[in-house]
């Protein structure tokens, strides 16, 4: 009975939607919907041609960090009353991510397990009305659409994600899986023009061009702010070392350069590009890498990385004690640590101050790189359904 419920996709989807609904209603009633107010006003400030990156303390605190195209993405929700728009926005995040995960070519039981594993991390993200579940979907679907030889639409998502939050650019990591690379490159160029120009339809060319300049300046400034030892962001490999060593000026490059080199090593295995397990391991690597090597990563960003952890875990054909240890370690320290499931003393004294939420994902990412470099070509590919 329990097994049937656990593997019932309708039950799982209902739980995800319920998480989004309850979280949205709870946060709205408490007045904890600052992120949604930022998102909503990207649309209205674009219409009014007001700076998208200035401070508006009478409307919300903090800054907008998303590109001008986000004004159109959020528009269908922004034009509704806040209570309705916010609830629908959160539900939309849930539905899109469930859909994206469901499109991965895996057995149904493995898809269900990924959804269960990611549910708590999704809750962490949606409590802040975050865009991160959609970004996770964009990265996953960028891979899925290339695998389905729908390069034009994969390129669309990659450019959309890049023009909204930059993270989307990691979808280019799947370029070598494309069977029509020229079409893919051409599609990237077309969508770049489309998404650059599109926001001008509700504002003006001068305003949008200037907004891109402001956006770049704001991101540079934000990166500098993130390096603070007291920042709630920088939950990354760089941030963890900065905070443990009490060295706020420790350069990102000391980590980024070796990280990029390690990330790129599996691409030397050209003969593995058609291997489904290799592809899914690389998808996991991309999802985790995006977060653990970003100084802008905060707790709700980890839905992106945790989707990678879940995919890595379910495709392990023989789950060793080491595999189980890493998975349980990630569930406890990464997924559960922001919640009351972890004692407040541990959370406030160790996990937050030292960015330890990142640690399990960092170790798993190194494990994935090892598996990518050692996976045998004849490895059983029964993990994927046809």
**What are the tens digits of pLDDT across the range 316-329?**
999 999 999 999 99
- The answer to whether 28 touches 86, Cβ cutoff 8 Å, is yes
Determine the Cα–Cα distance for residues 243 and 5; give it in Å rounded to an integer.
43
Determine the Cα–Cα distance for residues 198 and 81; give it in Å rounded to an integer.
25
- Give 221's pLDDT tier (boundaries 50, 70, 90): confident
* Stretch (H or E) spanning 127: none
List the one residue out of 99, 98, 134 whose CA is nearest residue 118.
Answer: 98
Summarize the confidence of residues 46-75 as an average pLDDT.
95
Distance of CA 54 to the CA centre of its chain: 25
Determine the Cα–Cα distance for residues 34 and 55; give it in Å rounded to an integer.
13
Determine the Cα–Cα distance for residues 206 and 218; give it in Å rounded to an integer.
18
Percent of all residues in the chain with a pLDDT value above 70, rounded to a whole number: 96
pTM of the model: 0.95
Determine the Cα–Cα distance for residues 235 and 152; give it in Å rounded to an integer.
34
Summarize the confidence of residues 244-260 as an average pLDDT.
93
- Give 377's pLDDT tier (boundaries 50, 70, 90): confident
Helix axes 359-374, 276-292, angle to 10 degrees: 150
| pLDDT of 40 | 97
Determine the Cα–Cα distance for residues 289 and 137; give it in Å rounded to an integer.
16
**Cα separation values, 181 from 176, 243, 375, Å:** 8, 42, 25
| pLDDT of 383 | 59
More confident residue, 382 or 239: 239
In sequence order, what are the residues at sequence separation of 6 or more whose Cβ sits closer than 8 angstroms to the Cβ of residue 143? Answer: 154, 171, 174, 177, 279, 283, 286
- Give 257's pLDDT tier (boundaries 50, 70, 90): very high
Give residue for tokens 């190194």.
366
The SS3 call for residue 380 is: coil
For 137, what's the count of Cα atoms within 13 Å in the CB-facing half-sphere?
Answer: 18
| pLDDT of 386 | 40
Determine the Cα–Cα distance for residues 296 and 62; give it in Å rounded to an integer.
14
pLDDT at 73 over 60: yes
In sequence order, what are the residues at sequence separation of 6 or more whose Cβ sits closer than 8 angstroms to the Cβ of residue 343? Answer: none
Quick: pLDDT tens for 76-85: 999 999 999 9
Q: Is the dihedral of CA 42, 44, 46, 50 positive or negative?
A: negative
| pLDDT of 3 | 73
Q: Name which of 19-23, 133-137, 249-253, 267-271 the model is least confident about.
A: 249-253
Determine the Cα–Cα distance for residues 17 and 19; give it in Å rounded to an integer.
5
Summarize the confidence of residues 123-149 as an average pLDDT.
97
User: In which region does residue 59 sit, left (phi positive, over 0), alpha (psi from -120 to 50) or beta (all else)?
Assistant: alpha
Please tell me what DSSP assigns to residue 272: G
Determine the Cα–Cα distance for residues 127 and 257; give it in Å rounded to an integer.
34
Q: What is the mean pLDDT of the chain?
A: 94
| pLDDT of 382 | 53
Retrieve residue 201's tokens. 């339809």
List the one residue out of 284, 385, 306 whose CA is nearest residue 122.
Answer: 306
| pLDDT of 223 | 78
């Amino acid at each position: 009975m329990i097994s049937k419920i656990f593997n019932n996709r309708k039950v799982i989807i209902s739980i995800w939607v319920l998480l989004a609904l309850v979280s949205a209603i709870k946060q709205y009633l408490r007045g904890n919907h600052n992120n949604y107010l930022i998102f909503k006003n990207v649309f209205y400030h674009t219409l009014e041609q007001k700076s998208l990156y200035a401070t508006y303390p009478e409307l919300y605190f903090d800054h907008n960090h998303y590109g001008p195209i986000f004004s159109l993405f959020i528009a269908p929700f922004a034009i509704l009353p806040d209570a309705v728009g916010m609830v629908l926005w959160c539900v939309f995040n849930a539905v899109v991510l469930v859909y994206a995960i469901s499109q991965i070519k895996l057995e149904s039981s493995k898809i269900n397990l990924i959804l269960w594993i990611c549910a708590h991390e999704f809750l962490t993200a949606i409590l802040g009305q975050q865009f991160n579940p959609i970004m996770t979907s964009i990265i996953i679907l960028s891979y899925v659409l290339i695998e389905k030889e729908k390069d034009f639409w994969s390129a669309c998502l990659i450019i959309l994600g890049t023009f909204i939050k930059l993270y989307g650019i990691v979808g280019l990591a799947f370029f070598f899986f494309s069977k029509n690379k020229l079409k893919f490159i051409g599609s990237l160029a077309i969508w770049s023009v489309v998404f650059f120009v599109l926001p001008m339809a509700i504002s003006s060319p001068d305003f949008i061009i200037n907004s891109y300049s402001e956006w770049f300046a704001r991101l540079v400034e934000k990166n500098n702010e993130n390096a603070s030892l007291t920042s709630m962001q920088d939950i990354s490999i760089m941030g963890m070392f900065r905070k443990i060593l009490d060295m706020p000026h420790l350069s990102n490059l000391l980590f980024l350069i070796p990280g990029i080199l390690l990330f790129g090593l599996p691409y030397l295995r050209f003969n593995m590009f058609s291997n489904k397990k290799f592809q899914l391991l690389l998808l996991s690597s991309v999802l985790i890498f995006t977060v653990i090597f970003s100084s802008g990563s905060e707790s709700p960003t980890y839905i992106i990385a945790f989707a990678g952890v879940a995919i890595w875990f379910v495709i392990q054909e023989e789950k060793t004690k080491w595999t189980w240890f890493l998975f349980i370690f990630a569930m406890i320290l990464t997924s559960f640590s922001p919640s009351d499931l972890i004692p407040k003393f541990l959370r406030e004294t160790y996990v937050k101050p030292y960015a330890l939420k990142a640690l399990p994902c960092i170790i798993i990412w190194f494990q994935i790189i090892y598996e990518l470099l050692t996976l045998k070509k004849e490895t059983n590919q029964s993990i994927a359904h046809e």
